[in-house]
Structure 1
């Protein structure tokens, strides 16, 4: 007996489609960073702040909208999210700095993707009991699908029509896709069958890695904040970085697509690896790869080399955030996952927001991205120190992670 059916995969595919469109909205700022900055007086920190607030808003909005979805319906929050993405892009297309920041931070982020990504992940999980992990891996890759598809499209459209018209047009397109899909496809999930759910995590009631549980989560979340700072830097500034090196915008947008396509493909490998070595060990391995990727951006200046570095960076960082979630599920009771996982993801998204903004701020101050890449490496090394300290607290002879 299983609740899974053909309808379950239809729901999963609808969710991927919705997220692939909604996550295209923040990429408009990435691709258009230089022309937006030029229109606003050359300060890249302003569009970088808008990109950061979109991440931060999605994290905070996920907590709020997840609560609302649990008391109303995912269809309602999804339709609200689609409408807010459209409204945010329409506001940002006005061209003023405050419109850009408010449109992306409040509407695209908090009320838009915040109403789409976390509630959608929970909703899809209710349609599966046998292949739930496979379905969630598919749905969580919506951001990478967006990254592989939209940058090259945006680059051509912005070059022909300007970033303001493209923002307005894409907002209408997002509403035209998301609202009908939500209204026609999303419906209440099936009731779970008795005996099909398996508990995960520890029994609780005692220390975690020899620490008070909340302290252990706080240190893990702090590490996720630090390692997500460098994660966001190349993704948010790669097109502009290429332009500074004399590489065309089209190639820069294609490079960003390569980075995120590699991340989409590698997520499947990292998921396989984390099932075998545990979430905490996978986080450490992913951070080591990410540090190497950031160092490679410092030493590579030619177009072919940067394509290779971008692909390698995508392969390295893509498994880190899911592995953090797995680590929380392994270290803490399943009954606490509903608040511990969103709390950690909020810190992760906050780190991505800080990284995108910090890289723009450092560029404005030093006229080069080299200082930003170095700051990202420093943050990554601090994260590795925290993670290494947590890993060393595991008692000898005890498994690195709890089964289930």
Structure 2
């Protein structure tokens, strides 16, 4: 119902959702801030120091799916309270760590619990918008990037003055104080009438595609792995790539910041576009531009051209992941949104993890990033092919003309 969705309450709820996402998503980024200090304290290798981050991402991926299930069953408020408490507990356990292994286990919990601020929150806010769902999902998803851009700067002073354990104690307190009170403000649920209307709309789309929700979920998961293996090449390796080209790590760090901050604008633009074109077409546009950027990275050897190509990449990649949430809501039952969105988000995170590792392996074997970019282009092509196929299946076609041999015309899919 329009009276319940897209109204003043929905936009106010979106603002609270963004604040929660800004806070709880810090669990994904805090480990990056403290990695140099951890390496110095434990005397670990660079690979060993990266292990806590790896387990953070493993937990983050699993949390998107499993907490999404919990949101479908118990609602977002209970999920947020439990996840915020678990995130704070993970921070606390991390401060007691006496080895990289102990810190890595604590980070697994932090990553798992902080995932509530991504897929589960996105799924929840999607119920409150119909006409403007695209921009609402994009704003909620931007909380992840904004958190990565804001918290490292805010925590840098605490790290320099008091050490990384103090950073984690601060974040434990901020998470509890900042998330739990806001969670109670999200107790209201959409009415059964609104939910039923969403179910009917998604059923029409699903019939047109001719796929069961489970089949479509797995197909979207494969597409998500494909696009994020491609996406990870510039995001994970841009600093090293700039060093190889002779520009130094500072330039690479600037480009990484450009990707994070520019990704916020990209997500907002894609959300506005999705409200007009739908999730599949919006994702196709973003994936196509990302593929173009990967092609352009190959001949880009100058600093100016590298910035230009990175800008093209930024404009494309930010809106890709939120588009999956929109496709899930367009084609799958509303009552299963948390689990379905969470599964696809988990697949995209696995794609980022696989792509970052695979690009490094290709570099070690070939001695350059050229083949790694080509590998990303191939995976990106898989994503584009799946989306084109889904779009073709979902596009109504005119009925066939009657034929004396074939009998009555076959109706077009709904």
TM-score w.r.t. structure 2 length?
A: 0.76
CA shift in 2, pair 1:171/1:83, >3 Å? farther
Partner Cα separation in structure 2 for residue 302 and residue 24 of structure 1: 34
CA shift in 2, pair 1:96/1:254, >3 Å? farther
Deviation at 1:134, TM superposition (A): 4.4
1:293 aligns with 2:290: no
Deviation at 1:150, TM superposition (A): 4.4
Match runs of 1:190-209 below 5 Å: 190=188, 192=190, 198-199=197-198, 201-203=201-203, 209=209
Among 144, 168, 171, which residue is 1:171 paired with? 168
CA shift in 2, pair 1:10/1:153, >3 Å? same
Partner of 2:101: 98
Partner of 1:315: 315
**Bigger radius of gyration, 1 or 2?**
2
Partner of 1:141: 142
Retained in 1: the 8 A contact 2:76–2:187?
Answer: no
Partner Cα separation in structure 2 for residue 382 and residue 221 of structure 1: 12
Retained in 1: the 8 A contact 2:87–2:175?
Answer: no
Matched residue of 1:397: which SS?
coil
Partner of 1:388: 388
Partner of 2:57: 55
Deviation at 1:100, TM superposition (A): 5.2
Match runs of 1:35-50 below 5 Å: 40-43=44-47, 50=52
Matched residue of 1:141: which SS?
helix
Among 64, 67, 71, which residue is 2:66 paired with? 64
Partner of 1:345: 345
1:182 aligns with 2:179: yes
CA shift in 2, pair 1:355/1:24, >3 Å? farther
Structure 1: segments with no counterpart, 5+ residues: none
Comparing 211-220 and 30-39, the one that deviates more:
30-39
Structure 2: segments with no counterpart, 5+ residues: 399-412
Retained in 1: the 8 A contact 2:122–2:325?
Answer: no
Retained in 1: the 8 A contact 2:23–2:178?
Answer: no
Partner Cα separation in structure 2 for residue 390 and residue 108 of structure 1: 36
Partner Cα separation in structure 2 for residue 114 and residue 83 of structure 1: 13
Listed one character per residue, the Cα deviations across residues 265-311 of structure 1 (whole Å, up to 9, x for unaligned) are 12122122223333222222211111122233333344444333333
Among 80, 83, 99, which residue is 1:81 paired with? 83
Matched residue of 2:385: which SS?
helix
Listed one character per residue, the Cα deviations across residues 205-254 of structure 1 (whole Å, up to 9, x for unaligned) are 98653455543443232112111112233223333443444445444333
Retained in 2: the 8 A contact 1:256–1:310?
Answer: no
Q: How large is the Cα RMSD of the aligned pairs? A: 4.0
TM-score w.r.t. structure 1 length?
A: 0.78
Partner Cα separation in structure 1 for residue 363 and residue 35 of structure 2: 13
Partner of 1:257: 257
Retained in 2: the 8 A contact 1:33–1:48?
Answer: yes
Partner Cα separation in structure 2 for residue 372 and residue 312 of structure 1: 19
Comparing 229-238 and 313-322, the one that deviates more:
229-238
The alignment covers a number of residue pairs equal to 393
Partner Cα separation in structure 2 for residue 210 and residue 246 of structure 1: 52
Deviation at 1:65, TM superposition (A): 2.3
